[in-house]
Structure 1
């Protein structure tokens, strides 16, 4: 059974608790003969401004989690609202720890609408919020984590990734956050140790160093990433060439690569890479980059050496003539149907900066934040 419960902002927290308790009690009564096999609940929770003492909230949260914990596998939080006198949000470790069967979390840390009482607290996320969330993640085993449109910088991402090292994570999404090169370095190291399958980093602050680290990770056999989304990160041609060479010449797992709107120009060496032994890449999105017709002609020529693996190449909004773009798509289709496997170029050597590799090895050794002590939170950890 899959139940969707949407909790609206205008309800008081006490009424919200009573509402959920009633639903869970009814579920327990109705489903008792069936046991708990196959039951799950998706909760979309929009937290109102507190009207109760904070300690009472924790007791209410614990009671709620004890009742609905066996039924909840997916937790979705669309916004989190801080209290009037504090930048901190509701302690997520209290919720996450109580829902022991969680396999997927999708959340946005900031408030959706500012209204009249604007404060920077509605868009900022405190380190205590992140530390408490990470504390809760250490006690469960997730398959999917999505934190989008939030104030997650490199240090905060590092705290979260540390808590996920022992998870069997399949999907990791930090889209529309503030993750930079150091955060991408941590993600690269994480992907080599965790075996995550899908990584979404759209619209962050990742530059050449971060992309080089991710490219290095893709060359390692322990990295199992199948989908990598780096759109709207400005890392330019040199790092783009390192990335595409790593994918085409050294990787055996990546199926879908998105590098749309990344500031790539006609110096991007995709034509050379297309002549390589592409064992795995099926979809490549290069839309909204600064190419030209000459780049398109080189691609068209290179596709005569292409193989049957590449199934889709997105070149929209790249200043390539419509006629050439149509010929490129037709060539890809014909190659796929005929299974052409003719290669010309030798596999190039890729040299890696030793300092970059050392930084990746030590990224989880550094202590980014001292442990957060909150005696009130201990109420829900017992």
Structure 2
């Protein structure tokens, strides 16, 4: 109804003083001049203070993007950001060159960011391990490309001759602040513990073959920045489904030799430690039959198989194996088949079979399905 009418409508009524004061602060933002809004640092800080006072948190969307180049704004705002904005601020600050540790230690922003990222309320916020992992990769490799992305994402820009696509040259890597990297790793582990524990007996079986450590299964944005390998993608899924190793009814295994081998996942295990365990496991071919037989012997209710790519033949064979073992034992065991790097196949779901593929909006599709209680 507009500021003036709102003031007239609510003046004198109970519990409206904070609302009116906030609206007046927001109204002082002014109007764009020559299509570009000018911001005063004190004005932005005043707005941040009022929003935090009323809502007890601030998001990056609450402040104008051009003000995020100001060290004064960041210094005042960091401890007031909500969890998701605190994670997003890593790369916003990095792009502005605000995370480099000065020789004389006069730049206090990196330490303030680390304090915010490691605060307990950030780990307990809606931030997921997957979101924190993407932020970490985008920060560590701001200009990193995968050859697959260069061949497919930029396919339309290639020259007319049918030459094989070449890998785009990498930009010079930017030195990262190790304390920020460590803080994001702590956040990955911390946020996983806050995932709701499942009550169903769950077996997670991971493909640990060599290409899982090099294949890029998840790209954070259209430019191909911040890729996640198959091992890293599988590890963040395991951390989520096991609630950081705290859920007693979930077992983690890997395809090893001609069968499966248990991978111990205990409380406090980090993503890097889990990836290392995958690499130390004796490599075995993916065998859905082996995973189902192990789960049948252990009376598991659900089996999750995580691999890189799936074709229709493998999917049909897995669904048939599940039907046969359930019919033979008169059970209702469920199978969740996850292809991290598979695209262009329709998601399939029956009473006992769920197929989830790829990543969606910076979240593995299997984690989204888990949160939606599809298994």
TM normalised by structure 1 equals: 0.38
Kindly indicate whether structure 1 or structure 2 has the higher relative contact order, using CA contacts under 8 Å at least 6 residues apart. 2
Structure with greater proportional helix content: 2
